Amino acid sequence: MEGERPAPRPRSAGLPAGGAGAESAGGGAPLPGSRGAPALLQAEVLDLDEDEDDLEVFSKDASLMDMNSFSPVMPTSPLSMINQIKFEDEPDLKDLFITVDEPESHVTTIETFITYRIITKTSRGEFDSSEFEVRRRYQDFLWLKGKLEEAHPTLIIPPLPEKFIVKGMVERFNDEFIETRRKALHKFLNRIADHPTLTFNEDFKVFLTAQAWELSSHKKQGPGLLSRMGQTVRAVASSMRGVKNRPEEFMDMHNFIETFSQKINLIDKISQRIYKEEKEYFDEMKEYGPIHILWSASEEDLVDTLKGVAGCIDKCSKATEKRMYGLSEALLPVVHEYVLYSEMLMGVMKRRDQIQTELDSKVEALTYKKADTDLLKEEIGKLEDKVECANNALKADWERWKENMQNDIKSAFTDMAEENINYYEQCLAIWESFLTSQTDLHLEEASEDKS
């Protein structure tokens, strides 16, 4: 292939190449990432992108970004550093493709759980291989989310689907529930992959590539339970004190999130309700058509007309089914994701407030204490930097999130409108063709009578 970028350098096997179906780590093999991703070829033209693959470049300011992170230093490239401030999405440069599929049930003596297969295809150098296949369960996703939140307290981490849905759950793992969850998990991972910062998170990489036992041991690293608990206690305590000096832009953000959360929840309820009503409409329609057929058995002269009407009703009900399906694919998951996002955002706001509170309390302490002022001042200095970084990170991510939200919502509702238009157009054609056939017959009969 012309213009193909060079294969990633083979690395010593620190981690074995993951899963079946992983291509050889050696050179020469065509990159799976480049199939169907013509953008990669484009990317070559821009010299800048050479660096994305280069793991070796660490940002000096990395320590500032990972305030509470105990995970290994996050590798960043100069380009992604720039992205962290501007967060320009460059979908053309996508080099990480993730799919979540094949839910499987596992039964042990203690419990039953579902694992999902995760296939990752990438051309990035920092990955040992270009293709990985692993199995993960919901708990693992939770862990990943927790780690990401730890590492980036003021970034907007994509939401996970709920743990369980309380109402109407007879069987914990019915097919519909699993499928909805699978799609949401797929979205979750892809959103992380698309995020300019999160995509390079080390825990993320481990999640995608490590075998089960490797993941377990990796999970055990990091802060112990006690220190995590300590953090939580501090967080709760500070949130209870409240934030006095929340800057105006974050006030605006807070207010927006509150209203948005309200509205998106309502829209979620409305959309679910519409789906339910459509389903019940569809169920009734199933009985409606056949009655006309039954009737036609006793009416010699109306057989054509009655059968015609029955046929139209049946076809329209199929169109209804299609519309329902479209709704459940295009609209419901998107709206629901943003319901979860709005909860996330509240959490992000709280964490930002908490960081600021830390600073504020130290400043307050300074005005009262006279001893240890130097130490305090040093701490305050660090905290001020921390607050600034956190605020900047949030601001930038907020803009990015808002833009994404607008696009997603716009897209979802446009699709919904499209589904409805298709539905009505189909039904229109069905009934019009029936009408034409009836009037044609009528004309035929009329001319027969005359002759």
Partner 1 sequence: MEQAPADRERQLQPAPLEPLGIPDSGLEAAFEEEAEGPQEEGTRDGTMTENNFWLKKMEISVSEAEKRTGRNAMNMQETYTAYLIETRSVEHIDGQSVLTDSLWRRYSEFELLRNYLLVYYPHIVVPPLPEKRAEFVWHKLSADNMDPDFVERRRIGLENFLLRVASHPILCRDKIFYLFLTQEGNWKETVNETGFQLKADSRLKALNATFRVKNPDKRFTELKHYSDELQSVISHLLRVRARVADRLYGVYKVHGNYGRVFSEWSAIEKEMGDGLQSAGHHMDVYAASIDDILEDEEHYADQLKEYLFYAEALRAVCRKHELMQYDLEMAAQDLASKKQQCEELATGTVRTFSLKGMTTKLFGQETPEQREARIKVLEEQINEGEQQLKSKNLEGREFVKNAWADIERFKEQKNHDLKEALISYAVMQISMCKKGIQVWTNAKECFSKM
Exactly one of 420, 440, 443, 444 binds partner 1 (CB under 8 A); that residue is 420
In whole angstroms, what is the distance from residue 272 CA to residue 324 CA?
11
Nearer to partner 1 among residue 206 and residue 327 (C-beta):
327
**Residues in CB range of 174: below 8 A, 6 or more apart:** none
Minimum CB distance to partner 1, residue 269 (Å): 8
Q: Is 417 in the site for partner 1 (CB under 8 A)?
A: yes
| C-beta closer to partner 1: residue 43 or 334 | 334
177 near partner 1, rule: CB under 8 A: no
Contacts of residue 394, defined as CB under 8 A and 6 or more positions apart, other chains included, come to 154, 155, 156, 250, 348, 352
Nearer to partner 1 by Cβ, of 315 and 352: the residue is 315
**To the nearest whole angstrom, how small is the minimum distance from the Cβ of residue 177 to partner 1?**
23
Residue matched to tokens 């599929």: 101
- The nearest distance, CB 432 to partner 1, in angstroms, is 6
Residue 428 interacts with partner 1 (CB under 8 A): yes or no: yes
Phi–psi pair at 239, nearest 5 degrees: -70, -25
Site string for partner 1, 239-278 (x = CB under 8 A): ----------------xx--xx--x--xx--x--xx--xx
367-406 footprint of partner 1 as x/- string (CB under 8 A) = ---------------------------------------x
Closest by CA position to 116, among listed 149, 139, 144, 96: 139
Binding segment (CB under 8 A) for partner 1, from list 47-55, 97-105, 144-152, 411-419: 411-419
User: If binding is defined by CB under 8 A, does position 325 make contact with partner 1?
Assistant: no
For every residue of 288-325, DSSP letters joined together read: HHHHHHHHHTT-STTHHHHHHHHHHHHHHHHHHHHHHH
As given in the structure block, the two tokens for residue 390 are 């956190």
Pick between residue 65 and residue 348 the one whose CB is nearest to partner 1: 348
Closest CB to partner 1 among residues 219, 254:
254
CB of 309 to partner 1, least distance (A): 6
* Displacement of CA 183 from its chain's centroid (Å): 9
DSSP 338-374: HHHHHHHHHHHHHHHHHHHHHHHHHHHHHHH--TTHH
Q: Is 178 in the site for partner 1 (CB under 8 A)?
A: no
Q: Which of 160, 267 has the CB closer to partner 1?
A: 267
CA nearest neighbour of 210 among 72, 16, 33, 21: 16
Binding mask 291-320 vs partner 1 (x if CB under 8 A, - otherwise)?
xx-xx--xx-xx--xx--x--x---x----
Shortest distance in whole angstroms from residue 248 CB to partner 1 = 16
Listed ranges 84-92, 125-133, 282-290, 353-361: which one lies at the site for partner 1 (CB under 8 A)? 282-290
Residue 144 vs 257, nearer CB to partner 1: 257
Contact 3, 44 (CB under 8 A): yes
Cβ contact 165:88 at 8 Å: no
202-209 helix and 138-151 helix, angle to the nearest 10 degrees? 160
Which one, of 192, 148, 141, lies nearest residue 162 by Cα? Answer: 141
**211 forms part of the interface with partner 1 (CB under 8 A):** no
Q: Candidates 99-107, 167-175, 341-349, 431-439 — which segment interacts with partner 1 by CB under 8 A? A: 431-439
Both tokens of 405, joined, read 């939200």
How many chain residues bind partner 1 (CB under 8 A)?
50
Neighbours of 378 (CB within 10 A): 11
* Residue 188 near residue 158 (C-beta atoms within 8 A): yes
Amino acid at 252: D
- Cβ proximity to partner 1: between 173 and 260 the closer is 260
- The phi, psi pair for 202, rounded to 5°, reads -70, -40
| 287 forms part of the interface with partner 1 (CB under 8 A) | yes
Q: In this structure, are residues 96 and 192 in contact, taking their beta carbons and an 8 Å threshold?
A: no
* Binding site residues, partner 1, CB under 8 A: 255-256, 259-260, 263, 266-267, 270, 273-274, 277-278, 280-281, 284-285, 287-288, 291-292, 294-295, 298-299, 301-302, 305-306, 309, 312, 316, 406, 409-410, 413-414, 417-418, 420-421, 423-425, 427-428, 431-432, 434-435, 438
